Amino acid sequence: MPDPFAVTTDGAGRQPLRSDELELVDDVVAALRRADSAEATASIAAIEQQLGSLRLFGELLDRYPSPVQEQVLGGVRRGLETLVDVMVQTDQATFPFRAPTQALVGRAMNMAQINFLRMLWHLTGTLDDRDAGSLREQAARRLRASVHCRLVEEVLADLVTDADIDRTVRAQGVRSLAQLWSARMTWRVDDFFPILAETWEARQRVRVIGGSLAGNCELFQLLTQGGDEEFVELLTDRDDVGDGELQAFREFLFDTSCEELDRLAVEMAREGVTSIELDSRIDRDRPGGRDAGSILFEFFRTRLVQCSARRVANLSGPRHTAEGYVMLAWLRKQCGM
């Protein structure tokens, strides 16, 4: 019987998990075997079944053409630049319909991988083993890394579908998306855009204080917890920084909408209060049992939906998340702007 945890590199049966992630699987399975219980045996079977499903996703992904390779169909040539021409004309409503099939399959595969790592994180919490604590932290770290991949794709798609952004910049965003889609099996944020990966990791360790709502305490924590200084500089230390970037950064620091922050500031001034406590989603969920990947995803998606609503309704406030504005600055640099 073939080893269900073996990694294959040929076109068939490719496993989307990287070697470090597969090592974690081996360690979790070994700990479950040491538990020597019916529940542990059932858990190992579930892991094997899900690994097989992920491998099938890898096979399916290989069946569809890469968006960065040229194809000829019915005498018509298609390639990266024709994809760019199509995707820069999309909006949020039409983007999924125009995206290449490989991109859609890869997106589903990414969610399957997230759910698999979430399962590992859950199982490590049931272990009574000498390595249980270390395994749980490793599973949480791998889970967050997979969520990072999903979030970067969301950031790029959000910029590509904003017609108010220069077409050249959006075209560069499509090319970045195409590279992500074509290398889905091995693509990770810490290799491609470590600014975001490191800052997301640091943000998980920031406790929101509130205070005068200036954000100085939260910013200090972000930097001392490992946040990338370039992330902060791209949002606050440029000649062309606008109100949108600064408001988005405050939303990122406080995990609170700019509308709510403005309301609180007015209330503080009316009542003569100079300091206030804030309750953030990340802080609320620390004592609970939810995984950090879910918390991070909701932390980002809530802000993304609010920004999209402002764009559609032409409301004041940031039109993109802090991560989006950082990516926008990076894309402009790539374009020599």
Beta bridge partners of 76: 73
Q: Give the pLDDT confidence score for residue 10 in this predicted structure.
A: 39
**How many other CB atoms sit within 10 Å of the CB of residue 45?**
10
Structural domain that includes position 293? 193-337
Together in a domain, 138 and 178:
yes
Q: Give the pLDDT confidence score for residue 241 in this predicted structure.
A: 83
pLDDT tens per residue across span 102-159: 999 999 999 999 999 999 999 999 998 788 899 999 999 999 999 999 999 999 999 9
Alpha helices in the chain (DSSP H): 19-35, 38-62, 80-87, 95-98, 101-124, 132-160, 167-182, 189-192, 194-203, 216-224, 229-236, 243-254, 258-271, 281-285, 292-313, 322-334
What is the rounded CA–CA span in Å between residue 8 and residue 264? 55
Which of 136, 169, 187 is where one domain is finished? 187
Mean pLDDT across the stretch 273-283? 80
Q: What is the pLDDT confidence band of residue 287, given thresholds at 50, 70 and 90? A: very low
User: Are 139 and 25 in contact, with CB atoms under 8 Å apart?
Assistant: no
User: Are 217 and 285 in contact, with CB atoms under 8 Å apart?
Assistant: no
Together in a domain, 289 and 166:
no
Together in a domain, 182 and 272:
no
Q: What is the pLDDT confidence band of residue 329, given thresholds at 50, 70 and 90? A: very high
User: Are 101 and 184 in contact, with CB atoms under 8 Å apart?
Assistant: no
Q: Running DSSP on this structure, what letter comes out for residue 206?
A: P
What is the rounded CA–CA span in Å between residue 102 and residue 14? 15
Is the model's pLDDT at 88 over the cut of 80? yes
Q: What is the pLDDT confidence band of residue 283, given thresholds at 50, 70 and 90? A: low
Together in a domain, 176 and 240:
no
Q: Report the domain count for the chain.
A: 2
User: Are 180 and 187 in contact, with CB atoms under 8 Å apart?
Assistant: yes
Together in a domain, 232 and 103:
no
Together in a domain, 16 and 149:
yes
C-alpha pair distances (Å), 152 with each of 31, 78, 238: 33, 25, 23
Q: Give the pLDDT confidence score for residue 289 in this predicted structure.
A: 63
Which of 146, 172, 187 is where one domain is finished? 187
Is the model's pLDDT at 218 over the cut of 70? yes
Is the model's pLDDT at 267 over the cut of 70? yes
Q: Give the pLDDT confidence score for residue 191 in this predicted structure.
A: 80
Q: Give the pLDDT confidence score for residue 72 in this predicted structure.
A: 84
Q: What is the pLDDT confidence band of residue 237, given thresholds at 50, 70 and 90? A: confident
Q: What is the mean pLDDT of the chain?
A: 90
- For the CA atoms of the chain, what is the radius of gyration? 22
Which of 187, 204, 219 is where one domain is finished? 187
Q: Give the pLDDT confidence score for residue 74 in this predicted structure.
A: 83
Together in a domain, 114 and 8:
yes
User: Percentage of the chain with pLDDT > 70?
Assistant: 93
pLDDT tens per residue across span 311-321: 999 999 999 99
Together in a domain, 197 and 182:
no
What is the rounded CA–CA span in Å between residue 223 and residue 215? 12
pLDDT tens per residue across span 40-73: 999 999 999 999 999 999 999 999 999 998 888 8
Together in a domain, 29 and 136:
yes
Does the predicted TM-score (pTM) go above 0.75?
yes
Q: What is the pLDDT confidence band of residue 281, given thresholds at 50, 70 and 90? A: low
User: Are 68 and 182 in contact, with CB atoms under 8 Å apart?
Assistant: yes
Q: Give the pLDDT confidence score for residue 129 in this predicted structure.
A: 79
Packed helices 38-62 and 19-35: angle between N→C axes, nearest 10 degrees: 160
Q: What angle do CA 189, 78, 175 make, to 5 degrees?
A: 25
Together in a domain, 325 and 281:
yes
User: Are 32 and 40 in contact, with CB atoms under 8 Å apart?
Assistant: yes
Together in a domain, 238 and 168:
no
pLDDT tens per residue across span 102-113: 999 999 999 999
Together in a domain, 158 and 223:
no
Q: Give the pLDDT confidence score for residue 83 in this predicted structure.
A: 96
Q: What is the pLDDT confidence band of residue 6, given thresholds at 50, 70 and 90? A: very low
pLDDT tens per residue across span 11-44: 334 889 999 999 999 999 999 999 989 999 999 9
What is the rounded CA–CA span in Å between residue 43 and residue 127? 11
